[in-house]
Amino acid sequence: MKKTQIVLLILIMASIAVLISVFGDFSSYETFASAAKEPKKSYYIIGTLDTAQGMHYDPKVDANHFTFFAKDKSGSKNKVIFNGEKPRDIEKSEQIVMMGYMDGDTFHCSKIQMKCPSKYKKDMVAVGNNG
Amino acid sequence: MANTQFIGEHLWPGQLGHFFVIVSLVAALFSTFGYLRAVKTEGLADEKTWRIFGRIGFGIHTGAIIAIFIALFYIITNHLFEYHYAWEHSSYDMPSEYLLSCFWEGQQGSFMLWTFWHAVLGLIVMKTAKQLETRTMAIIGIVQVILTTMILGIYLGPDIKIGTTPFMLLRHAMQNAPIFAMPNYLEFVKDGNGLNILLQNYWMVIHPPILFLGFALTLIPFAYCIAALWKGDYQSFIKPTLAWSLACGAILGTGIMMGGAWAYESLNFGGYWAWDPVENASLVPWLTLVAGLHTLLIYRSTKRAFILTSVLLLLTHLLVWYSTFLTRTGILGKTSVHAFTGDGAALTYHLVAVIAFLLLISIVAMGWKWKSLPRIKTEEETLSREFWMFIGAVVLFLASVQISVTTSIPVWSPLAKWITGKEFAPPTDVMSHYNNIQVWVAIIIGMLSAMVLFMKYKHTEGKSLAAKLGGTAAVAGVMTGFIAWGQDITAWQYVIMLFSACYGIVATIYYGVAIQKSKFKKLGPSVGHLGFATVLLGILLSSYNKHAISLNTTGVPFNFKKNTDQETIKENMENVIMFRGIPVAMGNYYATYIGDSDVNGKDKRIYYRVVFERKDSVTKKTLERFVLYPDAFINPKGEQGLSANPSTKHYWDRDIFTYINSATDKSKTDTSTYRSHIVSKPGDSIYLANGFMIFNGFSNEINDKRYVAKDGDLAVKAKLTVHNMQGVKQEINPIYILRDKQYIMQVDDTVLAMGLYARFGALNVHSKDSASIDIQVRQTNPMDDFIVLKALVFPYINVLWIGIVVMVLGFFISLGDVVSSKIGMLKKTTV
């Protein structure tokens, strides 16, 4: 076997190993119930804003604290705390993707992605940290 | 309905534009056909005729594309909102410099830009490709045919649509809207949608053309590789391919980092690079291009690595198409909403078909000549430039595989769900996912980029190599220790990366100065690699110690400690609320929000003035003072909320970067009312929320532009001195006017910084010598005027920008070297 081939083989094996090891980095879409099975582990939850129950944001008290209620795909409702400013237009959102973890009966969320029914504009709005 | 005669439409620019779309498509087909015939008749008398056919076809094609551009530009500049494209992307109030940006905001306009660059580059290839002209131009022609179909907009049957025309009429785009039943509907279409406010920025004017030129440049190495395989001539393609790849590396690299600079400067992503899918989609082709460029160098000098070179350069262009697929079809954004618009689905199939077709061409070209491809049986030496450069190329390729796999999660997740039943999502911490892997790529590539310079092709003398490598490594080691200590870099893998970057810098400078003796023409590789190492250093320094200085200390933090790790919390507590006039400690600074201001004219933003002051801790003297003006559109286009642009203070060694996350809407929150204060003699004072005001008597010498004197007026001004808490004094003079003995008018005076409005309410004459006046004072509550600000410090960000400029310079020096040596080569071969 040639030297190049040996090195290639090693590199490819190493990268396969890397790919497998980072496979655990990949998250998954869950519901409030399934995320609650592993509290404090971060997941994505897809849902909608529950407008029946109020939302609360008072930047004078804490600019990084926004609470609201969301309904997940299975239809169950849960309280959500977002550690950031209230995303604009969340009232109009058709769908919200929340990244965070369950703790007790609240979902702590650090990133929100919304789909708004803006007719002709780029329709995804991401809010949160680190893009 | 079909017979409705619409009033006020300008149909001819659109019809002309569409006509030229068809002309450009037919001409591209014509050109391709001519060039294909020329290849078939190679060496025969007919070849020349067919070649001229091809050239004329391509010339007409280019002319038609320019005509399409002019037609669309005419529509946009004349605000012909009967066209969907103009209505969607432009508006009357848009500053004229952004009219050009309307082109590339939309799907079709950016395809046009891409086509345009291909055509321009095609003309250069036509002029310079010599014996490879027929084949390269045939390939370029095919790609142009494909690209033109993207803006064709032709229906095959009711459901199948090919491309979308930029000349679609508004009434066709929204057929069901009742407004279009009216012949005079245009009277109701008052204005267009305009450019997305996030994109109203000078970067939007220059970034897309450069990036698309970079994308377009990947076509030329692609065409040359196919042409080489097709002809079975594995020699004459080397120099032009090398030159084009260098140009592409420079331009695409510039385009990508302009995107980074844009993100850093104007979009509040909180940085220049976020491993965002859109960013990755343009980085990946650049990585494979750079890898292919280096294997091509190996091939030029040793005749090894031909296959890898072709694979990488062919793949680069395919990846540009794939990145178009990722970013245009909405497949990335959907995360779960699988609803496509009709256009999206058509575009998806269209792009998949294009990628499949180009992939097929590549595979066939390689497979067909597989047995006769240049190969070398013997093994290379371990101490040779080609061996280590080859490894570097493979590492770059593997890095691009990793980035692609994660970026493409939405593409492969349906398949994964079918197999595993789990619905995969992107990593919850995207940044560290990529950083943890790519740091190793950076380390390896950083080291290799310095080491290979000292090696020679085929054989390198071990001893002198070891001496040079060891010497430079020792210097780099000292530099690493110094920086790591000074910048407090402790994570071991980042210390290694720091060493790799320092090593790259030291070694390339040594190589350029001591070994190449600074001969400018030959400095390309060392300058390019120096730039790359500097980029690594800049990334490391600016990201490792990037920190927020706007940590929230005024709010009520909730009890996170028992919940999760501190880091994620810190990330989320970086917003701080600033009430007007109340200083907030930020790092070494005291920052005070002192009010907002809007600017006249077309700029609809509101600028928030934030004063930063650094004081000596002992003497309390102000050492430094500057004002930042982060700005925002409040409730843009009737939407709730705001859209912000950052403001940055640049130092040579760091940037302070601020942006507004939330602000009060003045039109809604000011509920303060006037209160009366009676004063009668000079020296009487009125107490304010944050200061006091002293009455100094009356005067009838009125010198106020707002008051125009009229006969019969009795006008008096009150002389008032306002003192604020900091001891600053300011005179104000509200005016009281009695006109024609019956109408009372007042002219208020204000101290904006204190939110103070004073009004001369009434004049009560008690006797000849005594009078009292009613001074009415209104102060907006400072608690009603606040902003939520995020302030970040990026240390040594300039190192990154300098590195990029140096790297691009390196590409260009090499390009100059290759081009000037190319002339010599052609003289030899064309005799």
Give domain status of residue A17, yes or no: no
Cβ(B292)–Cβ(B309) under 8 Å?
A: yes
Cβ distance of B390 and A4 shorter than 8 Å: yes
Give domain status of residue A2, yes or no: no
φ/ψ (deg, to 5) at A96: -130, 135
Cα dist from A71 to A75, A80, B230, B334, whole Å: 6, 10, 59, 19
pLDDT tens-place string over residues B314-336 = 999 999 999 988 888 877 764 43
Query: Residue B313 — very low, low, confident or very high, per pLDDT cuts 50/70/90?
Result: very high
Mean pLDDT of the residues in chain B: 84
Question: Has residue B669 got a pLDDT over 70?
Answer: no
**DSSP states of B388-422:** HHHHHHHHHHHHHHHHHHHHTHHHHHHHHHHHHS-
Cβ distance of A40 and B558 shorter than 8 Å: no
B88 touches chain A (CB under 8 A): yes
3-class secondary structure for B153-178? CEEECCCEEECCCCCCEHHHHCCCCH
Measured between CA atoms, how close is B540 to chain A, in angstroms? 17
Give domain status of residue A13, yes or no: no
- Listed as own residue / partner, the contacts of B817-826 with beta carbons closer than 8 Å and 24 or more positions apart are B817/B521, B817/B522, B817/B524, B818/B239, B818/B242, B818/B243, B818/B246, B819/B243, B820/B521, B821/B239, B822/B239, B822/B240, B822/B243, B825/B239, B826/B130
The chain B residue lying nearest A47, using CA atoms, is B336
The Cα B131–Cα B228 span in angstroms is: 11
The Cα B450–Cα B439 span in angstroms is: 17
pLDDT tens-place string over residues B456-473 = 888 888 888 899 899 999
Query: Residue B145 — very low, low, confident or very high, per pLDDT cuts 50/70/90?
Result: very high
- Sign, CA dihedral B224-B227-B229-B235, equals negative
- pLDDT value of residue B344: 65
Count Cα neighbours of B19 within 13 Å in the Cβ-side half-sphere: 9
DSSP 8-state assignment for residue B83: B
Report residue A60 as tokens.
């004078």
Measured between CA atoms, how close is B409 to chain A, in angstroms? 9
Give the predicted TM-score (pTM) of the model: 0.83
CATH at A59: 2.40.50.140
- pLDDT value of residue A130: 34
Give domain status of residue A100, yes or no: yes
Pick from A29, A81, A89: which is nearest to B425 by CB? A29
φ/ψ (deg, to 5) at B776: -100, 130
Q: Which amino acid is at A20?
A: I
Question: Has residue B551 got a pLDDT over 90?
Answer: no
The chain A residue lying nearest B555, using CA atoms, is A62
pLDDT tens-place string over residues B384-439 = 899 999 999 999 999 999 999 988 888 888 888 888 878 888 887 788 888 888 99
Cβ(B243)–Cβ(B270) under 8 Å?
A: no
Which residue carries 């509550």 as its tokens? B781
- Listed as own residue / partner, the contacts of B12-19 with beta carbons closer than 8 Å and 24 or more positions apart are B13/B71, B13/B74, B13/B75, B13/B80, B13/B167, B14/B71, B14/B75, B14/B83, B14/B167, B14/B169, B15/B167, B16/B67, B16/B71, B17/B67, B17/B68, B17/B71, B17/B72, B17/B75, B17/B166, B17/B167, B18/B153, B18/B165, B18/B167
Report residue B793 as tokens.
């410090």
Give domain status of residue A123, yes or no: yes
Pick from B382, B576, B641: which is nearest to A3 by CB? B382
* CB contacts, 8 Å: B199 with chain A: none
CA A55 to chain centre: 19
Q: How many domains does the structure of chain A reveal?
A: 1
Mapped onto helix, strand or coil, the DSSP state of residue B770 is coil
| Distant-in-sequence, close-in-space partners of B558: CB < 8 Å, separation ≥ 6 | A62, A65, A81
- B523 conformational bin, left if phi > 0, alpha if psi -120 to 50, beta if neither: alpha
The Cα B756–Cα B777 span in angstroms is: 7
* CB contacts, 8 Å: A115 with chain B: 337
| Lowest-pLDDT range of B126-140, B368-382, B518-532, B551-565 | B551-565
* CB contacts, 8 Å: A28 with chain B: 422-425
Beta bridge partners of B632: B606, B644
The Cα B603–Cα B94 span in angstroms is: 9
The Cα B262–Cα B646 span in angstroms is: 11
Picking from A61, A45, A54, A62, the residue whose alpha carbon sits closest to that of residue A107 is A45
Give domain status of residue A93, yes or no: yes
* Rounded mean pLDDT, B806-811: 96
Query: Residue B665 — very low, low, confident or very high, per pLDDT cuts 50/70/90?
Result: low
Q: Which domain holds residue A34?
A: 27-128
